[in-house]
């Protein structure tokens, strides 16, 4: 898997994100997925895309990466919605990381979580970095998968959590990840 903007946003392994036009409308009647409120921090949404928009606007290699993810959960692009948001401290303005939300209408929770973790691992390895350590653990009372960022990635570990047909990949300091997880369904 090549290191694409899409996989970077999802993996947040290197800190890039999509800079495509905002305002994509949700395709499903699924519940609105919002980011948690974290004391003193703000979120900046850099991406909001439906699967159909991805097929129409992204380069072929990025579409292929997304196809692998949606096919692994038994879905199609019409079932996919993606958002990415940067977390920052308005007083200091540095980015503290981000949260990617992948919603695949009707997807099995565990299968979706596994697919997102596989995509993150593939993006890291595709960037020429060492394969990360992956471990299941519990944070804030929720079952998550922690993907340890390898030396040279320069970011916090990724924490992947899924509920229903939504998966979140959080790459923010661990205390913020725990606070965020407490607010997710």
CB 85 within 8 A of CB 44: yes
- Assessment of whether the complete model's pTM goes beyond 0.85: no
Banded pLDDT at 87 (limits 50, 70, 90): confident
Q: Between these two residues, 141 and 88, which has the higher pLDDT value?
A: 141
d(CA 140, CA 70): 28
- Segment 7-45, tens digit of pLDDT: 444 443 333 332 222 223 333 334 445 677 777 777 767
% of the chain surpassing 90 pLDDT: 55
Q: What whole-number distance in Å separates Cα of residue 89 and Cα of residue 24?
A: 26
């Amino acid at each position: 898997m090549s290191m694409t903007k899409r996989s970077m946003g999802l993996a947040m392994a290197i800190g890039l994100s999509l800079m495509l036009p905002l305002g994509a409308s949700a395709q499903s009647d699924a519940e609105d997925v919002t980011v948690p409120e974290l004391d003193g921090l703000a979120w900046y949404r850099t991406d909001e895309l439906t699967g159909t928009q991805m097929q129409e606007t992204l380069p072929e290699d990025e579409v292929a990466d997304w196809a692998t993810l949606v096919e692994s959960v038994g879905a199609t692009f019409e079932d996919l919605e993606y958002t990415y948001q940067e977390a920052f401290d308005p007083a200091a303005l540095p980015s503290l990381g981000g949260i990617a939300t992948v919603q695949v209408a009707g997807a099995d929770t565990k299968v979706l979580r596994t697919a997102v973790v596989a995509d993150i691992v593939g993006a890291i390895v595709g960037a020429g970095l060492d394969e990360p350590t992956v471990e299941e653990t519990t944070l804030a009372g929720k079952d998550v998968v922690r993907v340890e960022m390898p030396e040279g990635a320069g970011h916090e570990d990724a924490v992947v959590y899924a509920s229903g047909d939504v998966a979140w990949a959080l790459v923010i300091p661990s205390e913020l990840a725990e606070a965020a997880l407490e607010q997710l369904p």
